[in-house]
Structure 1
Amino acid sequence: MRLLIPCVETHTCGEPTRTVIGGFPNLPGETIRAKQVYIQEHLDHVRKSLIREPRGHRGMFGAILTPPVSPDAVCGVVWFDNAGYLSGCGHGTIGVGITLVETGMVPASGPLTTFTVDSPSGLLRLSVRAEGGRARETSFENVPAFSVGSDLAADVPGLGRIHVDIAFGGNFFAILDAAQAGLEIRPDKASHLAEVGLKIREAVNAQVPIRHPTMPHLDRVQIVTFVAPPTRPGARYLNTHMFGDGAIDRSPGGTGTSAVMTALYAKGKLAIGEEVVAEGIAGGLFRGRLLRQTALGDRPAVVPEITGPAYITAFHQFVLDSDDPWAEGFELH
């Protein structure tokens, strides 16, 4: 049996998003989280096929568009990477925004097209800016973000004791200065960043208990963020994010920028409305700010906004053949 999966490919400051726009059966579930669980339990072979070699690679990232579950949303989205599924993705949100407007799935309405998208972590409010007849960048109002704690200690084999800030920006992040781990944020150091990031994540999750106040299934750090002084004029910091099974985010990171801003705010180092420019390992820039204070259950929270560019790179029709011995792909480490 052959399954045809149409996708639109984008990159956001160098980080890919493979957006599935069709080919899936009707997905049961009244929430995007329920649809995500259904895909994970019944259709995970599709994720593996699209992410792994020979169709993908270790750093590939994906999105599956679904029917909306909220009255005002244009669609839903499920995020996936080389290890499984995520509750949020900022670079992917930017890429999906460009995809929806550039392909006409969401009709453009002048220089700024606004709409909402359902995600596993909540409703995302997108504004896609057009210039010269082209969609250029997406701003999105993220779900509420909050700090778990600042300068939390964890003992990491081979590193000793480190201190991290933990914040939720759509995913849970452990944030630390790269120098604390003896690292440099450079493209030629990506493998080492990934290796150390995996060790830090394992140690933090074993030693620091966390749980989202309204989504209790989110109870572990998914992403490790390394921060260093910027190299681009105007940037506040340079960072990269280790996610999945040792993948390195090429972009400045959308949920990552949300988490870093939230950690800075918790330390009194960032004000509501103050703009932050974040630099990614590939040299791209995102703009971010905290729009307002809010609450998440009984926990104080903030609402981040992130802006960045994305570009369509390809339109694919993937063929998944059940007779293919490598239909679910493979991984090289």
Structure 2
Amino acid sequence: MRLVEVGEICRFEYGKSLSERTRIPGKFFVYGSNGPVGSHATAFTQGKTIVIGRKGSIGEVHVSNDSCWPIDTTYFIDSTCTDCDLDWLAYNLKHLNLAELNKASGVPGLNRDDAYKQKVWLPETKNEQYQIAAYLKAQLAEVETARQASQTLVWDAKLLKTKIVDSTFGELRDWQPIAAVAKVQSGYAFKSQDFKTSGVRLLRNTNILPGQVYWDEVVCLDENEATRYQSYALEEGDILISLDRPLISSGIKVARVETADLPSLLLQRVGRFIPKPGAIDPGFLYAFLQSSRFIGAISGHDQSLGVPHISPGQVESVELPCLSLDEQRRIVTRLYVQLAEADSIAQTAAMQLAEIERLPQKLLARAFDAQGA
């Protein structure tokens, strides 16, 4: 066992450009920096190939068990580029975390000369390399099986919350339009040339995620100017809905305003529910907005500039259960206890999944970091 530089044992070759319009669908995978992106009738490499992200998903390592076509955003290593066992080499490259080299250099993209300087422990024989790779392949296969099972638990936990909400509202009778109990106020069309980097925050549709207000992307209005728009000033507990692209893969973009979100003003394409006094419990309304019935009712509406869009009027026309305030509050109290239990299950499942997803790097570290000891 000896310590060598990557450049001593292999060569990173550049992939070759192959635009989508020139591809002829066939049996060979076309690889980009993030994995397979199509197929082609001919291959550019010989046999099993390691593909490494050069631009885009920088440092990502993929293995094609057959000849393939890596495009020009990648490097590749096949049997003509190394005498090492390709599986052993691929696991070593994954362990090196080549993506960090991009951050270190400050230049977008992976420079192969930087990769060549990384050091690995080289077993004396190719058979030893093969045995290490075979052991890791078996261990990682078990980890992947566990990861898939854990991912299923996470999905099931999320579905449980939906089932609880749907079951609650599915049992109710006597329905009326939301307009009977609340109005939906659309935000003000502030001009982008008035946006500032500091001042009073403007809550846009990009600031709403399912169940939370998200301030990673912030635009503001001058504090003095903001005083002119008090009718659009948000308050703690306000219920918001994104009127543009309200449905995303992780759920419906509705959220409640918290103290940390203030002060802020409502921007166009975001709606705020203004309940009529004594007509609707805010918690009841917020829970209903996350039900499959409401989501189904707002799906498939018009598009604005190619983006799925709903209007305040369309939201107000959706029917919800007609109940007394006391009954609404009893339902909300029971529902939130059930949702808290479901949240606990979901958090446990997510923590378990996160731990399993860390196992591959731990296995690689155990296999390769200890070799020189």
Q: Same fold (TM over 0.5)?
A: no
Higher RCO (CA-CA < 8 Å; seq separation 6+): 1
| Category of TM-score, reference length = shorter chain | under 0.3
Larger strand proportion of the pair: 1
> Scaled by the length of structure 1, what TM-score is found?
0.22
Higher normalized helix content (fraction of residues)? 2
